[in-house]
Chains A and B, each alone.
Chain A
Amino acid sequence: LSTGARSLLDQAHGLLLRADADTAGLWPRASALLARRSVEASVYRLWELRGLELGACPMRTQLICLRTYLGDAPLAARAGHAWSALRRACHHHPYELAPTVAELEAWFAVASDLIDRVARDVPDP
């Protein structure tokens, strides 16, 4: 269900807002991971709605197909970009800082738009 995508994104937001000794320093990558899962959940949900078994394909293939099936190519491109940025943020890279709040929020906004778009989806005629 797309509530899955929404609740993952809410959790990611929660990590951004809460200053907590337990998550100090960990929240940027942790929230990036949750947001990335949220984008994936939205994409899986769309395949489910369309009856397409694309979920097992590599994410790159799924994101290219998203441009065809979402019915909103610019949003699909933004979602693809946010996903790869979030994926990069989930891993440690030498000389690269963890993402900032502003960066994360920009990617979360895309994840949120995707959730809304998928929620409005009607299957192909």
Chain B
Amino acid sequence: VALGRIQLTGDGTRRRVVLDVTVDGVEGAALGVMSQGELHSLALSLFVPRATLPESPFRFIVIDDPVQSMDPARVDGLARVLEGASADRQVLVFTHDDRLPEAVRRLDIPAEIVEVTRRDASVVELRRAIDPVGRYLEDALAVAGTGDLPAAAAARVVPGLCRLAIEAACMEVVRRRRLGRGEPYADVERALTEAGTLTRLGALALFDDPERGPVLPARIEKEAGAAAALAFRLCDDDAVETQALEPVELVRQASKLAGVLRGVR
């Protein structure tokens, strides 16, 4: 199904949009030939670009249940479109369908997934199901726990994934703190980009000051223990002897450290 011209028509105070489509080259009207899932996709293909115009005063979009009756490839496509939209604005999606979170995981899209459950009298509970930190740690554990994993791969892949998890935890702390006190989004992102190294990023998260990197290891050791401080060093520097911690233990310590970092206000 290919989309043709989009026409704005109407009479008096009524406005409508006419969408012409062709099906395998034969003309038809969109509503008559498209499935429910295709119509949803079509509506989204009009809504998302319109909502993300530079002229829009809103730096966010909210979409309610966009994946109903969509086929799997379309769900993947939607996940990518929303990832694109999230480059410079907040994207909030509500869904009761597990396929979108699934696509987000598989496509490695940095998104946070929150499960909402409703108790009696609409008392709502929120539970963070997965977020970038958890996903990197999950992947790291899957690799570290592989029985016959070659040492060379363990030494490179596991610290790399743990590093990504720790970075994500630091960024979360910095964003929450700085956006919370009203700093502009662009300034916060610039501070994060300019931090550069993991040590400076860690100092930005723990002390709100990237220049205090040199005192970071001592602080991590105090807050999370010596093993977590070692894990931080392993993630920070490829040159450090990675055999110092077993891969699974490295993930465990990185996970502990990420937890401590995220607890920082």
Contacts and interface: CB of A to CB of B under 8 A. Distances in A.
A54 B152 CA distance: 10
B108 A77 contact: yes
A3 interface: no
Interface stretch (B87-95, B140-148, B207-215, B224-232): B140-148
Interface in B107-148: 107-108, 139, 142-143, 146, 148
B19 interface: no
A1 interface: no
Nearest to B106: A81
A6 to B, nearest CB: 23
> In terms of DSSP, what is the predominant structure of the interface of chain B?
helix
Contacts of A73: 108
B150 A100 contact: no
A17 to B, nearest CB: 16
B143 A106 contact: no
A68 B73 contact: no
A115 to B, nearest CB: 20
A53 B151 CA distance: 10
Nearest to A84: B106
B85 interface: no
Contacts of B157: 64-65, 68-69
Interface in A57-104: 57-58, 60-61, 64-65, 67-69, 73-74, 77-78, 80-81, 84-85, 97, 99-100, 102-103
Given A57-B149, A61-B143, A97-B71, 12 more contacts: A52-B152, A54-B149, A56-B148, A58-B146, A60-B142, A64-B157, A77-B106, A80-B106, A80-B108, A84-B106, A85-B72, A106-B73
Interface of A: 52-54, 56-58, 60-61, 64-65, 67-69, 73-74, 77-78, 80-81, 84-85, 97, 99-100, 102-103, 106
